[in-house]
Amino acid sequence: MKYKRVLLKLSGEALMGNKGFGIDNNRLMQYANEIKSVSEFGVEIAIVVGGGNIFRGVQASEGGMERTQGDYMGMLATMINSMALQAALESLGLQTRLQSAIEMKEIAEPFIRRKAVRHLERGRIVIFGAGTGNPFFTTDSAASLRAIEIEANVILKGTRVDGIYTADPEKDPEATKYSNISFDQVYNMGLSVMDLTAFTLCKENNLPIIVFDMNTSGNLLNLVQGAEVGTLVEA
């Protein structure tokens, strides 16, 4: 086992599958099964899910809504996705805990770092919802912050592409993939991995990031077993 404790970051858009909005149940269960295989392998898993399939605070502010209000609405969207993922995982017999950065005591525990670590040590999958609980921070920043707090070995950023490329592979057929790259190279070349706040948090705390294709079956398990999957970003 290469990684003992990981933080998996999933975008809200990933949960849409082939739909234009909301949650695709088939994609949700696909992800739940991938996560189950890793949990059964003995890896401690924490998860942060975005909310872009339901609501984006940035887009709301572009339409004239106050950014702070829009961001809080986006945090609620992440909770909807987190609850859906929790239900999918529990339907497969896994033990989970959902912790929220905003108090919602009827549906989630408040985020308490020591509690989260204890859950992970006992084999429970911990889902962190509502971002950092603060406006103007993305769920990428939440993923970096929580990963550092729980002392995860790595952030696994599940995307639609199989790593980091010299250009957008969906637009440029000549784009080539990096198998590994340094934080400084990503920054100097202006490559899009995470937003700058999240990326800087990882760099300053020497927390590696692996960008990989979550939609390919078996990738997640192969990755934690040490296979070269996706692109590794490290110091």
Q: What is the pLDDT of residues 140-161, one digit of tens each?
A: 999 999 999 999 999 999 998 8
C-alpha 6/C-alpha 221 separation (Å) is 12
What average pLDDT does this structure show over 100-128? 98
What average pLDDT does this structure show over 68-80? 96
pLDDT at 90 over 80: yes
Model confidence, pTM: 0.95
Question: Helix or strand or coil: residue 31?
Answer: helix
pLDDT at 19 over 80: yes
Q: Return the DSSP state at 102.
A: S
Q: Which two tokens stand for residue 183?
A: 């934080």
Confidence of residue 59 (pLDDT cuts 50, 70, 90): confident
- 5-234 placed in CATH 3.40.1160.10: yes
- Residue, of 111 and 64, whose pLDDT is higher: 111
> In sequence order, which residues have a C-beta less than 8 Å from that of residue 28 and are 6 or more positions away?
15, 84, 85, 88
* Mean pLDDT, the chain, whole residue set: 95
Q: What is the pLDDT of residues 175-228, one digit of tens each?
A: 999 999 999 999 999 898 999 999 999 999 999 999 999 999 999 999 999 999
Percent of all residues in the chain with a pLDDT value above 90, rounded to a whole number: 86
pLDDT at 118 over 80: yes
213: enclosing H helix or E strand: strand 209-213
Residues 211, 231: contact at Cβ < 8 Å? yes
pLDDT of 1: 76
What residue segments make up the domains of the chain, in order of their start? 5-234
C-alpha 213/C-alpha 74 separation (Å) is 24
**CB neighbour burial string for 17-49, b if at least 16 within 10 angstroms, e if fewer:** beeeeebbeebbebbbebbbebbeeebbbbbbb
C-alpha 128/C-alpha 208 separation (Å) is 19
pLDDT of 168: 82
Rg of the chain's alpha carbons, rounded to an integer?
Answer: 17
